[in-house]
């Protein structure tokens, strides 16, 4: 075995042993939080449940602007008029998305004729019918989509987000 490959082998061995040691330490860390009500395994804060609109307020193809999960995060609720990916409501056609482009946070505009979002900064396009799928542009992520629920009274609530909001390390800030 050459000198270089022996060094590489020893380094790899140290990593494996180190990893095993770290894994051994995990149960004791979890143990330390027992009884404190704190989960050491949770990495995100819970999403709030916020009413965005009533179904009766929504008109096909028109944007209903709001914010979620806090005032600093603009979102848009839309009734598309046909069943779509993750759509809710009797026609499975109501969806909501962040209005901040996933590339560099440009404010998106919605075009009802193609059901797409367009960014004015570098021209990314996202598909509102396909869960915010990136169609074209410099963004590398799809558009974050809100998880929606509708109650018996026809009120539409945001209860979570699929994907990470632009500029954040976590969608819900402490």
Active site residues: 103, 122
Q: Which is nearer to ligand FES, 50 or 104 (CB)?
A: 104
CB atoms within 10 A of CB 144: 24
Query: The tokens of 106 are what?
Result: 């440009």
- For ligand FES, which is the closer residue by CB, 50 or 121? 121
Handedness of CA 47, 51, 56, 57 (dihedral sign): negative
- Shortest separation between residue 139's beta carbon and ligand FES, angstroms: 5
> What b/e sequence results for 10-24 when a residue is b if at least 16 CB atoms lie within 10 Å of its CB, and e otherwise?
eeeeeeeeeeeeeee
CA distance readout (Å), 78 to 32, 34, 85: 46, 44, 13
Residue 128, interface with ligand FES (CB under 6 A)? Answer: no
CB of 145 to ligand FES, least distance (A): 16
Write out the binding residues for ligand FES, residues 75-104 only, by CB under 6 A: 101, 103-104
Q: How many residues does the chain have?
A: 174
* Closer Cβ to ligand FES, 91 or 141, answer by number: 141
Contact pick of 87, 94, 97, 106 for ligand FES (by CB under 6 A): 106
165 lines the binding site for ligand FES (CB under 6 A): no
- State in angstroms the smallest separation of the CB of 125 from ligand FES: 9
- Piece in contact with ligand FES (CB under 6 A), picked from 34-42, 45-53, 90-98, 133-141: 133-141
Residue matched to tokens 């193609």? 114
In the complex, minimum distance from the CB of residue 138 to ligand FES, in angstroms, rounded to a whole number: 5
Asked if 137 interacts with ligand FES (CB under 6 A), we say yes
Output phi, psi for 40, to 5 deg: -80, -10
CB-facing half-sphere around the CA of 144: CA atoms within 13 A: 25
Give the residues lining the site for ligand FES (CB under 6 A).
101, 103-106, 119, 121-122, 124, 137-139
């Amino acid at each position: 075995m050459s000198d270089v490959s022996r060094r590489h082998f020893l380094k790899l061995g140290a990593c494996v042993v180190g990893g095993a040691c770290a894994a051994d330490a995990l149960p004791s860390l979890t143990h330390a939080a027992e009884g404190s009500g704190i989960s050491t395994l949770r990495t995100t804060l819970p999403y709030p449940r916020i009413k965005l609109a009533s179904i009766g307020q929504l008109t096909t193809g028109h944007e209903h602007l709001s914010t979620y999960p806090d005032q600093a995060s603009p979102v848009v609720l839309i009734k598309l008029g046909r069943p779509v990916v993750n759509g809710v409501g009797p026609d499975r056609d109501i969806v909501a998305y962040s209005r901040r482009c996933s590339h560099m946070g440009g404010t998106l505009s919605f075009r009802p004729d193609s059901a797409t979002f367009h960014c004015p900064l570098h021209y990314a396009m996202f598909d509102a019918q396909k869960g915010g799928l990136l169609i074209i542009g410099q963004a590398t992520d799809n558009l974050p989509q809100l998880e929606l629920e509708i109650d018996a009274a026809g009120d539409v609530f945001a209860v979570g987000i699929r994907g990470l909001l632009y500029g954040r390390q976590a969608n819900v800030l402490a």
